[in-house]
C-alpha cells in the first residue's frame, strides 16, 4: 500500500515507517521536519493518492497546553480535520493515534466502552479527535481506526518521561522521584508499532477503537526496582512523597478486543523492555 504517515520523524513515527517499509509499503512522510505542514491544506491537496493515513502528529507535552493553548489545540484538532478531509477526498482509511482517555477509571481493567474523561487539555484533544473520526465515518464513510496507547516507552523517548528519567538518574547511582505509588500500564514501542501495522493492514475496517497496552500495571517504585535489578551497583532511591494534582492512581488496559480482532498481543513485558533500554543491541 501507499501509506501517508504524519509525525513520521517522531518517537513512534521513525520506527513505524521502518516497520512499514520492511513490509514493502510505500510511505509518504508528512512531518514538519521534512518541510511538510499538515495545517497547510494546499500542501495536502497536492499529495499523490494514498490508500491509508496513520496520523501521529500532535502536540503532546502537557505543560505546553497550558502555556500556549491556541497553538496546542490548533495542531491537535485542525491536523485531524485536515487529514480526515484529505482521506475523504482520496477514499483512504484513517488510523488515529489517540491516548489514554479514561480519566480516573471506574473499574479495572479498562475496556474501550468505558466512559471517556479528559483530565488535561492533551487528553481532551484526543477525545475530540476520536469524535471527529467517528463523525467522518458516520457522515462521509471514511473508515477510521482509533488506537489508544497507554504508557508508551522505549528507545528514543524524550528524557522528561518517567522511564528515561529513571534510567538517566540511575547512571549516577541516585534516583530521586516524587511519588512511588501511581501505577501505569507500560507498553514497549515495538509492540505499539506492531499494533499500528496490524491496524493499517486490517481488512474491511469501518469505525473501531482499540486499547494498546500490556494488560498489567506497575507502580513507580516497582519500575525503579526493575531498573535497580539491571545494574551491577545498588541504586540510592528517595521519594518526596508528593502526589500530583488530579493524579490517576492506577491504569490497566483490557486488550481482549485488539487481541481478538487484530490478533495482536504485546511481546515485550516491562522487565524485558527496561533491559533493552539499559543494554540496547
Each residue's pLDDT tens digit, 200-230: 999 888 999 999 999 999 999 999 999 999 9
What is the structure's pLDDT at 56?
98
| 0.85 surpassed by pTM | yes
Q: What is the CATH number of the domain that holds 149?
A: 3.40.50.720
Residue 167 has pLDDT above 90, yes or no: yes
280 within some domain: no
Residues pairing with 186 in the sheet: 151
Range of the domain at 12: 2-154+187-214+252-267
220 within some domain: no
The per-residue pLDDT for range 4-48, each reduced to its tens digit, is 999 999 999 999 999 999 999 999 999 999 999 999 999 999 999
62 within some domain: yes
Q: How many domains does the chain have?
A: 1
116 within some domain: yes
Question: Alpha helices, DSSP H only, in the chain?
Answer: 11-22, 41-45, 62-67, 69-73, 79-90, 121-140, 162-170, 189-200, 220-229, 256-261, 270-278
78 within some domain: yes
11 within some domain: yes
7 within some domain: yes
DSSP percent split of the chain into helix, strand, coil, nearest 5: 40, 20, 40
Residue 272 has pLDDT above 90, yes or no: yes
User: E strand or H helix at 149, and its extent?
Assistant: strand 144-149
Amino acid at each position: 500500500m501507499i501509506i501517508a504517515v504524519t509525525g513520521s520523524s517522531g518517537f513512534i513515527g521513525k520506527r513505524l515507517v521502518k516497520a512499514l517499509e520492511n513490509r514493502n509499503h510505500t510511505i509518504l512522510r508528512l512531518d514538519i521536519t521534512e518541510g511538510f505542514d499538515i495545517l497547510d491544506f494546499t500542501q495536502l491537496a497536492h499529495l499523490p493518492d494514498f490508500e491509508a493515513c496513520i496520523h501521529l502528529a500532535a502536540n503532546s507535552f502537557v505543560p505546553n497546553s497550558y502555556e500556549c493553548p491556541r497553538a496546542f489545540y490548533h495542531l491537535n484538532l485542525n491536523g485531524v480535520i485536515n487529514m480526515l478531509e484529505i482521506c475523504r477526498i482520496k477514499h483512504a482509511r484513517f488510523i488515529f493515534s489517540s491516548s489514554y482517555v479514561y480519566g480516573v477509571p471506574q473499574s479495572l481493567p479498562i475496556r474501550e466502552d468505558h466512559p471517556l474523561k479528559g483530565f488535561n487539555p492533551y487528553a481532551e484533544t484526543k477525545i475530540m479527535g476520536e469524535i471527529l473520526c467517528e463523525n467522518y465515518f458516520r457522515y462521509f464513510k471514511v473508515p477510521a481506526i482509533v488506537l489508544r496507547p497507554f504508557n508508551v516507552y522505549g528507545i528514543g523517548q524524550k528524557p522528561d518521561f518517567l522511564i528515561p528519567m529513571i534510567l538517566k538518574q540511575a547512571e549516577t547511582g541516585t534516583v530521586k522521584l516524587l511519588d512511588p505509588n501511581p501505577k501505569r500500564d507500560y507498553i514497549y514501542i515495538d509492540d505499539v508499532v506492531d499494533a499500528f501495522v496490524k491496524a493499517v493492514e486490517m481488512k474491511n475496517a469501518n469505525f473501531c477503537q482499540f486499547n494498546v497496552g500490556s494488560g498489567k500495571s506497575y507502580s513507580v517504585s516497582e519500575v525503579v526496582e526493575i531498573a535497580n535489578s539491571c545494574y551491577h551497583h545498588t541504586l540510592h532511591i528517595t521519594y518526596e512523597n508528593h502526589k500530583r494534582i488530579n493524579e490517576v492512581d492506577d491504569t490497566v488496559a483490557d486488550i481482549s478486543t485488539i487481541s481478538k480482532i487484530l490478533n495482536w498481543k504485546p511481546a515485550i513485558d516491562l522487565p524485558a523492555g527496561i533491559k533493552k533500554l539499559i543494554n540496547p543491541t
